[in-house]
Amino acid sequence: MTPSPTAPKAKAMESALQRLRAKVISGELSPGEQIRQQEMAEELGVSRVPLREALNVLADQGLLLHRPNSGYFVAKRAPNEMAQIRRILQLLETELLASIEWPDAQCMQELRALNDEMRECATAEDWTPLVRLNREFHIQIYALSPYRLILEEVKRLWALADVFIATKMADGSARVRTVQEHDQLLECLDARDMPRCLDMMELHRRSTSSGLPPERPGADRRSSPVSVA
């Protein structure tokens, strides 16, 4: 079969998208920094067209800000905004998890493979792929729900939360703990025990939330706000 003429363009866009996202997540591109398109296209080895498409995707997801006649800038997130994102995700993710169809053997195998990849990344010098794998792990579980509109909103919010998650994952112990908690969540899924699944997911959220801003103005900082990691 002859490859589609659009395939190389799509591949270039996807490559630019993933590498730009990694630069934002790692802090190589700082909040408020302008993306200089010609320089970035040369650095990534792509033309301006796929680069602009990738920039538009990240702007739609909220990681970048597009200012007409000025260009693209890395979005800034106030602590209370991230707290609100975490709170919304808690509510929506609980709806999704409670409504899933139990994963079959193939799905469980794929989830374990994702977590094994995370396990390798957790102790690697370059651990940043773990952020993407973590998102894929959770989204694959939530995709077992029939609630497609809620799922799409959760995907959008996870994209916004990538920078926050990367900040938490900079701590090696948090990376190891995340993988271990995924192991426990997989056990609950394999046992098809919904109460345990919901409890484990809540524990998983809370375990990485220490020291984060409260979800509501004036909330007690000693309480356990919810994390998406």
Residues 32 and 130 in one domain: no
In a domain, 213, yes or no: no
Element (H, E) at 71: strand 71-74
Out of 59, 74, 89, a domain closes at 74
Q: What is the residue range of 182's domain?
A: 79-207
Report the CATH number that the domain containing residue 31 is assigned in CATH: 1.10.10.10
pLDDT digits (tens, 9 = 90+) for 9-61: 788 888 888 888 888 877 788 888 999 999 999 999 999 999 999 999 888 87
Low-confidence ranges of the chain (pLDDT < 50): 211, 213, 215, 217-229
Nearest C-alpha neighbor of 182 from the set 135, 126, 125: 135
In a domain, 224, yes or no: no
How far apart, in whole angstroms, are the C-alpha atoms of residue 75 and residue 64?
5
Residues 41 and 86 in one domain: no
Nearest C-alpha neighbor of 103 from the set 90, 112, 95: 112
* CA angle (45 as vertex; 43, 48 as ends), nearest 5: 90
DSSP-derived letter for residue 96 is H
pLDDT digits (tens, 9 = 90+) for 149-163: 999 999 989 888 877
Q: What is the pTM of this model?
A: 0.72
Out of 38, 58, 74, a domain closes at 74
Element (H, E) at 136: helix 129-142
In a domain, 229, yes or no: no
